[in-house]
Amino acid sequence: MKIIRKLKGHLIAKDKRKLIIIISAVAFLLLVTVVLGIFYISAALGLKEDYDKLKFSMTACLNSLKTGDTVLANAAISELDSTSGKMRAELSDGKWALPAVIPAVREDLETAVKCLDIVDKASDTLLKPAVAAIRESGMPEVKSVTLDNMGPDLGLMFYAYSNVIDELCPALTDVMNDLNGLPKFNIGMLENKISKYRALPEATEQFMPLIKRAPDELLRPAADVMTENPFAKLKVDDGMDTSVILAYIDLGIKIKPFVGEVDEKMKEGSLLEKLPELKKISKKLDDIASYMDKLERYEPFLKALVGDGKDKFYLVVAQNSAELRACGGFPGSVGTATIKNNILKFGDFKTVYDVIPQKHGSGIKFSDSEVKLFHKDWYVAKARSASANPDFPRCAEIWAAAYGRGHKKNPDGVISLTPHIIQRLMPITGPVKLSNGVTLDENYCIWYLQHDVYFEYFGNPKYKGKANDITDGLFAETANKVEDKLLDKPNVKNMLKLLQVLEESSKDRVFMIWMKDKEEQQIVKDLGFSGSLNEDPDNPEIGVYYSIKAANKLGPYVSLSTKVGKGKANDDGTMSYTVTVELSNTIDDATLEFGRNNGYLTSTKYAGDMKSVIYFFAPAGGTVKSFKNDAKIKVKTTNYNGLEVGYASGFFLKPGKTIVFKYTVTTAPGVTKKPSISVTPTLTEYADSKPAEDNG
């Protein structure tokens, strides 16, 4: 038994020694692994720092290229080359031999070297040539390409961009092909670091055809126009060179398809999600595409207006809303616009009495409906009263004929505006200070010119006999100063803003144009600038127009509200609507009392009562009927140029009173679209306008 116990004890001791040896060996291996792990982790962290430096240098280089700072760009490229060399040396060090035994690690090391090859190639074939090109051409940053600086400097920059693109495209394609063939890293962290760059080949592949086409289809055509017709040349002494406008119109039409193609390509697939930095470029392209659309839309109109090389002569009539007429107002001030040898010049606004004679042109004949609707003793008797007719083309035709008779020169067209448009232009031009010390801005212009100015001068005895000339003169001064500011520092962006203001103002009859040439008039009508009455049954429009048939300044107190009810389908395929028109005289007692003592303001004869004429035009192909009102005013119906119209003449609207008209409008058969509303523009929305701060 003792022998057995000794043998058993020996065996147990032997097993313990084996166990100790095994444990020691495992501990040693663990220790070696930890030491090596710490060594390689440290080396990997060093590579990560170098990677971050590499990325920072590339970013710094690209930013410097954008800003045209070749000194910083060269410094960034030097740092990039240095970091790349350091990383390459690190990866070739013998200490990576043991980890490289593992296939996945070896593959990642090889991929890392390939990454550095691509970086070095990009440095030599793209970044360094780009820096050299920028240094030679002096190109400024891309963000300086705006619609405010269309001139030789920008044109030369575009030429330089074109040359750089032509030079660098092959190298860019080569580098992107290398990047596209780069294997994926096995280590997730490494792959995650480079994953965003893997979208670059796809983006380049999508855009390379467009990038290659850009110099010939965008940059050089734009550069040609900007160097030959810089926008700064638009202003010529006291005029404007319309050939510059036409050159940019033609350029816009020429490059629009290419810009649209690029814009569309940017939005395809998930490219913007993969490369968020492209969103800024996409937004800029959207803006440019929008400008191109506007240019294309305005092209026929602008070419018709500026003559496309032909001489032109226009009357520019400012309809005074304070003396309200159906078409807008009495034509208190009239200017001229002349285009000769491509140079557009505006003549100063003068009182209508010096420009448009009262006698009609010999070719003007009046229909029975015109005599009935607009009055023999008014519209028919006096050419200046043509704005009693809301049909602007007819109104303009009468003014042009009267001018031709009196001045032996026939206008090619008539441009109408009300003071509303001057205030709408002031966000573009900024405020103007008048000779009497008053400053007008986008918040206080209309109410001064159409209200306050009359009370200031007609209400002061010392201006007796001069007030009319002074007030007309201040309006003319305002119009001339705003015009001068528009032409002072012209640029494409402001010209497009101007066109937008004109288009918006055409919708509420604040801005209208008539052209003597029938084809040009059709262009104006198609754009919606003609001020014509409704002629399209498929786009029905209800017209409500109002005149004060007396010489006074009661226009600011006219409130005209029109509402169209829900449509009711009729058995014959037509639609009927109840229309409610509220017409109010908003003058207060204090103003009325002041006006009574100052004649012309509120009419001495009528003492604030508005001698009224109102017209209710049916949509094209439709009818108006069943007129009712709470003042027992008789409404008659007749026909004007194929449109049915209800009208009431000679009734008085007393101070503080409102008359409510209700009637039924029926559209043409088969038309289900609800009619829009066209009304005489009034001034009541500006009644709360306050003077600018420096008016005192």
Per-residue burial over 293-311, b if 16 or more Cβ lie within 10 Å, else e, is: ebbeebbbbbbbbbbeeee
DSSP 167-178: HHHHHHHHHHHH
How far is residue 210's CA from residue 262's CA, in Å, rounded to a whole number? 7
- Residue at 80 is within a domain: no
Phi-psi label, residue 236: left if phi above 0, alpha if psi -120 to 50, beta otherwise: beta
Gap between the Cα atoms of 234 and 220, Å rounded: 21
CB 267 within 8 A of CB 279: no
Q: Is residue 117 part of a domain?
A: no
651-680: per-residue pLDDT in tens?
A: 999 999 999 999 999 999 999 999 999 999
CA-based nearest residue to 239, from 336, 161, 338 = 338
Kindly state the tokens that stand for 199.
């979208």
**Residue-level pLDDT at 4:** 35
Specify whether the backbone of 68 is left (phi greater than 0), alpha (psi in -120 to 50) or beta: left
Q: What span, in angstroms and rounded, lies between the C-alpha atoms of 400 and 410?
A: 7
- The least confident of 21-30, 123-132, 631-640 is 21-30
C-alpha dihedral sign at 476, 477, 478, 481: positive
The verdict on 460 and 574 lying in the same domain is no
Same domain membership, residue 641 and residue 561: yes
**Residues 492-501 pLDDT 10s:** 778 778 888 9
Report which of 175, 238, 160, 192 is spatially closest to residue 51, judged by C-alpha positions.
192
Q: Is the pLDDT of residue 2 over 70?
A: no
- Cα–Cα distance measured from residue 334 to residue 400, given in angstroms and rounded to the nearest whole number: 12
Question: Does the structure show a pLDDT above 90 at 351?
Answer: no
CA–CA gap between residue 616 and residue 601 (Å, rounded): 28
Q: What's the CATH code of the domain at 421?
A: 3.40.630
Residues 396 and 452 placed together within one structural domain of the fold: yes
Quickly state the pLDDT bin for 321 (edges 50, 70, 90).
very high
Mean of all residue pLDDT scores within the chain: 84
Question: Is 147 part of any domain?
Answer: no
pLDDT value at residue 9:
46
Sign of CA dihedral 299, 303, 309, 315: negative
Is the domain of 601 the same as that of 468? no
State the CB neighbour count (10 A cutoff) for residue 568.
12
- How far lies 105's CA from each of 44, 191, 531, in Å? 12, 13, 78
Highest mean pLDDT: which of 14-23, 73-82, 196-205?
73-82
Structure tokens at 633: 């005013």
Q: What is the CATH number of the domain that holds 642?
A: 2.60.40
Which pLDDT does position 662 carry in this prediction?
Answer: 98
Token pair of 276 as six digits = 């968020």
CA 440 to chain centre: 24
Q: In sequence order, what are the residues at sequence separation of 6 or more whose Cβ sits closer than 8 angstroms to the Cβ of residue 105? A: 99, 186
Q: Note whether 673 and 540 are within 8 A (CB).
A: yes
Q: What is the pTM of this model?
A: 0.79
Pairwise CA distance, residues 182 & 115, whole Å: 8
pLDDT exceeding 70 applies to what percent of the chain? 87
pLDDT of residue 18: 59
Position 245 in a domain? no
Helix, strand, coil in percent for the chain, rounding step 5? 55, 20, 25
Number of domain units in the chain: 2
Higher pLDDT, residue 254 or 93: 254
Structure tokens of 96? 């990576």
**575 and 682, same structural domain?**
yes
* Cα distance between the two ends of the chain: 127
Handedness of CA 633, 637, 640, 645 (dihedral sign): positive
CA angle 199, 200, 205 (to 5 degrees): 105
35 inside domain: no
**519 shares its domain with 546:** no
- pLDDT tens for each residue of 502-559: 889 999 999 999 999 999 999 999 999 999 999 999 999 999 999 999 888 999 999 9
Three-class SS string for 306-372? HHHHCCEEEEEEEEECCCCCCCCCEEEEEEEEEEECCEEEEEEEEEHHHHCCCCCCCCCCCCHHHHH
The per-residue pLDDT for range 354-374, each reduced to its tens digit, is: 999 999 988 899 999 999 999
**Average pLDDT in the 295-320 region?**
89
What pLDDT is stored for residue 149 in this prediction?
Answer: 64
At 131-160, the pLDDT tens digits run 887 777 666 555 555 656 667 877 887 888
* 102-111, 564-573, 676-685, range with the lowest pLDDT: 102-111
pLDDT, one tens digit per residue, over 21-57 is 665 666 655 555 555 555 555 666 666 777 778 778 7
Q: Look at strands 312-320 and 413-417 and give their pairing.
A: parallel
Residues 505 and 625 in one domain: no
- For residues 504 and 556, membership in a common domain is answered with no
Tens-place pLDDT, residues 177-200: 887 888 887 777 777 777 777 777
- Is the pLDDT at 579 greater than 70? The verdict is yes
Q: What is the pLDDT of residue 14?
A: 52
> Do residues 579 and 565 make contact, with C-beta atoms less than 8 angstroms apart?
yes
Q: Which residues neighbour 344 within 8 Å (Cβ) at sequence distance 6 or greater?
A: 239, 240, 241, 242, 306, 337, 338
Residue 513 lies in a domain: yes
Angstrom distance (rounded) from CA 309 to CA 246: 9
Confidence class for position 108, pLDDT limits 50, 70, 90 = confident
Burial class (CB in 10 A: 0-12, 13-18, 19+), 514: buried
* Any domain includes 652: yes
pLDDT digit string, tens, across residues 399-427: 999 999 999 999 999 999 998 999 999 99
CB atoms within 10 A of CB 246: 19
Long-range contacts of 456-459 (CB under 8 A, 24+ apart): 458/553, 458/598, 458/599, 458/600, 458/601, 459/594, 459/598, 459/601
Domain-terminating residue out of 475, 498, 527 = 527
Domain-terminating residue out of 527, 554, 587: 527
Single residue among 502, 527, 552 that ends a domain in this structure: 527
H-type alpha helices, 528-624? 589-596
Is there a domain that residue 206 lies in?
A: no
R_g (Cα) of the chain, nearest Å: 39
Q: Clarify whether residues 379 and 411 are in a common domain.
A: yes
Given a cut of 50, whether residue 336 has pLDDT beyond it is: yes
Assess whether 514 and 630 both reside in one domain.
no
The arithmetic mean of pLDDT across residues 228-240, rounded, is 84
Residues 337 and 421 reside in one and the same domain? yes
Question: For 591-607, what is each residue's pLDDT tens digit?
Answer: 888 877 776 788 767 78
Given a contact cutoff of 8 angstroms between Cβ atoms, the answer to whether 380 and 358 are in contact is: no
Q: What percent of the chain is predicted at pLDDT more than 90? A: 41
Range of the domain at 441: 309-527
Tell me how far apart the alpha carbons of residues 519 and 515 are, in angstroms, rounded to a whole number. 9
Range of lowest pLDDT (60-74, 298-312, 539-553) = 60-74
Q: Is the pLDDT of residue 127 over 50?
A: yes
Q: 463 and 402 in one domain?
A: yes
The secondary structure of residue 674, as a DSSP letter, is P
Split at pLDDT 50, 70, 90, the class of 73 is confident
